């Protein structure tokens, strides 16, 4: 039913700044502007990698205006693709009448389908060429009170194979949960996690905000270039580079801080690296040489 994490929606009061950051740091290109009536939002659509980023700003009162008043700039919605939007709509009809189809996209509030913290847009699947410096988005992270219970709900609502889900635990960042892999041998998934250490950054954020979309992740073959570009711009990032690896070589992961991209935290992993925590560590490609 769900094919890929194909987009994210970013709500912001300063859309031009957000658009400029995605362009200059990641090579995104504008693909169109329109309005989403059901959200009360003006939308600028950017292509980046094989994925899409939709920059939303409030057009008067509405859901985006309310969300910005509560949280400021943030990741407003995760986006998944499907071969049949109507079929997904019919599947969700068993759980809620509160669904909106607009311009062949399906907009759903996760609270209405028993997944608090999620806001979701379902779009027709497209095969796209790569634009800019990302390869593709593959993950949207949801903070939850009960990750196990919520992943079972994902399996039920979206007809996913729970046997394919991958357990994920991070003492470093203080959380536990599961990856709801959509398809075998593909990274696309929701990461559904519960913070376990309320003194760490994620735990403090969860204590303040509660269940919500937290961040997104993308794969890129140009990680070293992006890292250098963000550093030169004096913007915030956190770098995960193994000890001994030369700085001109890509790190394993980089996290771009929310202010860097206009309000959303974006994790970046080098090609294949995400398999180290996604159930197939044997697929991770080595980086050589080390200093």
For the beta carbon of residue 243, count every other beta carbon within 10 angstroms: 6
Task: Give pLDDT, residue 291.
Answer: 47
Task: Give pLDDT, residue 246.
Answer: 86
Does 289 sit behind a cis peptide bond, omega within 30 degrees of 0 on the bond before it?
yes
pLDDT tens, N- to C-terminus, the chain (291 residues): 899 999 999 999 999 999 999 999 999 999 999 999 999 999 999 999 999 999 999 999 999 999 999 999 999 999 999 999 999 999 999 999 999 999 999 999 999 999 999 999 999 999 999 999 999 999 999 999 999 999 999 999 999 999 999 999 999 999 999 999 999 899 999 999 999 999 999 999 999 999 999 999 999 999 999 999 999 999 999 999 998 888 888 999 999 999 999 999 999 999 999 999 999 999 999 987 654
- SS3 for the chain is CCCCEEEEEEECCCHHHHHHHHHHHHCCEEEEEEEEHHHCEEEEEEEEECEEEEEEEECCCCHHHHHHHHHCCEEEEEEEEECCHHHHHHHHCCCCCCEEEECCEEEEEHHHHCCCCCEEEEEECCCCCCECCCCEEEEEEEECCCHHHHHHHHHHHHCCCHHHCEEEEECCCCEEEEECCCCCCCCCEEEEEEECCCCCHHHHHHHHHCCEEEEEEEECCCHHHHHHHHHHCCCCEEEECCCCECCCCCCCEEEECHHHHCCCCEEEECCCHHHHHCCCHHHCCCCCCEC
Domains of the chain are 5-280 (3.10.180.10)
Task: Give pLDDT, residue 1.
Answer: 87
- 190-238 pLDDT per residue, tens: 999 999 999 999 999 999 999 999 999 999 999 999 999 999 999 999 9
């Amino acid at each position: 039913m769900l094919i890929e994490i194909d987009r994210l929606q970013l709500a912001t009061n300063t859309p031009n700044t957000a658009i400029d950051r995605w362009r200059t740091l990641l090579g995104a290109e504008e693909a169109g502007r329109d309005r989403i009536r059901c959200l009360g939002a003006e939308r600028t659509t950017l292509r980046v990698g094989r994925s899409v980023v939709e920059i939303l700003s409030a057009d008067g009162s509405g859901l985006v205006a309310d969300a910005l008043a509560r949280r400021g700039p943030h990741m407003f919605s995760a986006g998944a693709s499907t071969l049949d939007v109507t079929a997904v709509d019919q599947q969700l009809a068993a759980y809620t009448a509160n669904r909106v189809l607009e311009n062949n996209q399906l907009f759903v509030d996760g609270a209405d389908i028993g997944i608090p913290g999620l806001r979701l847009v379902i779009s027709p699947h497209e095969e796209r060429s790569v634009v800019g410096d990302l390869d593709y988005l593959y993950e949207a992270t949801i903070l939850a009170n009960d990750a196990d219970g919520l992943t079972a709900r994902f399996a039920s609502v979206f007809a996913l194979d729970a046997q394919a889900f991958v357990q994920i635990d991070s003492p470093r960042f203080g959380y536990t949960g599961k990856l709801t892999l959509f398809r075998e041998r593909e990274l696309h998934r929701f990461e559904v996690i519960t913070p376990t250490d309320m003194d760490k950054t994620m735990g403090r954020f969860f204590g303040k905000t509660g269940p919500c979309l937290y961040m997104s992740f993308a794969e890129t073959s140009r990680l070293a270039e992006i890292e250098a570009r963000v550093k030169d711009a004096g913007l915030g990032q956190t770098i995960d580079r193994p000890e001994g690896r030369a700085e001109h070589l890509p790190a394993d992961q980089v996290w771009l801080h929310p202010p860097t991209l206009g309000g959303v935290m974006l994790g970046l992993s080098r090609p294949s690296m995400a398999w180290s925590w996604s159930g197939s560590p044997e697929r991770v490609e080595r980086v050589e040489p080390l200093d």
